[in-house]
Structure 1
Amino acid sequence: MTRDASDWYSEESATFGDRVAGAREALGITQTELAKRLGVKLKTVRGWEEDLAEPRANKLQMLAGVLNVSMMWLLNGHGDGLDGPAEDVVIPGDVRAILTEIRQVKTEMGRLSDRLGVLEKRLRQSLKEHG
Structure 2
Amino acid sequence: MSPSDLVPDGGSHLLIGGKLTPGGGGVFTTANPATGETLGYAANADAADMDAAIAAARTAFDTTDWSRDPGFRAACLRQLRDALRGHLEELREITIAEAGAPRMLTSGPQLEGPVGDLGYFADLAENYAWETDLGIASPMGIK
TM-score by length of structure 2 reads: 0.30
TM-score by length of structure 1 reads: 0.31
Larger radius of gyration: 2
Q: Which is richer in strand?
A: 2
Q: Which is richer in helix?
A: 1
